[in-house]
Structure 1
């Protein structure tokens, strides 16, 4: 079992689309400014609310949700290993035989007919008058 990296928690950048920093959500354009104390306290309230709410939700729900997703991916893996992959392998073996059979039938019956039609229609000449 691999070690959990406590510093880099999204090494594959799965959630890089989620911007939850104050500067990614709020920005005052030039020419419009709130008071400095409002801006600074808004930052503090935003960060405190975001962090506290996230920590409470992960404390109460994170372990159960992680367990459920672990079970879900275990079921998906089980189905692929024990059901889907053997079924697909069986299907591909069976269809390989069917492909050879029908390919031979087409080569014996349809190819001569199509070659004859092609030779017949290749002699047609169209001229504009």
Structure 2
């Protein structure tokens, strides 16, 4: 929206991607009794974080703008098709079927209704007794 600022601190306010929150501790864990050297563990953490952040930043730098533009166009086309095609088509269908519903309802009321009433009156006279 024009004039709307982007929140540079909270970049996922709707928690769309909470499922891909991955930290070192979510991937690696050494159980009791099996330990690498402390320097290996600390440097592994640093390498993991550096690789993850560097790769993500490089990919977003190279592809982020193009992908954002493509998704913007995709959602624009989706909105366009709903506003100009699907909603009017559904409204037309709803109006047409409403008319058809009234027609068939009248036919059923005239033709089937009296038969059902007559059968109902016949069976309403049936009395069941337990002996």
Cα deviation code 1:59-92 (max 9, x no counterpart) = 1111100000000000000111111111111111
TM-score (norm 2): 0.89
User: Residue 22 in 1 paired to residue 27 in 2?
Assistant: no
Structure 2: gaps (5+ residues): none
| Mean CA deviation greater in 50-59 or 119-128 | 119-128
2:58 is matched with which residue?
56
2:79 is matched with which residue?
77
Which residue of 84, 88, 100 corresponds with 2:102? 100
2:11 is matched with which residue?
9
| Count of matched residue pairs | 129
Higher normalized contact order (CA 8 Å, seq sep 6+, divided by chain length) = 2
Following TM superposition, by how much is the alpha carbon of 1:124 offset from its aligned partner in structure 2, in angstroms?
Answer: 4.8
Cα distance between partner residues in 2 of 1:126 and 1:109? 30
TM-score (norm 1): 0.90
* SS of residue matched to 1:17: helix
Cα deviation code 1:24-64 (max 9, x no counterpart) = 11111222221111110000000000001111111111110
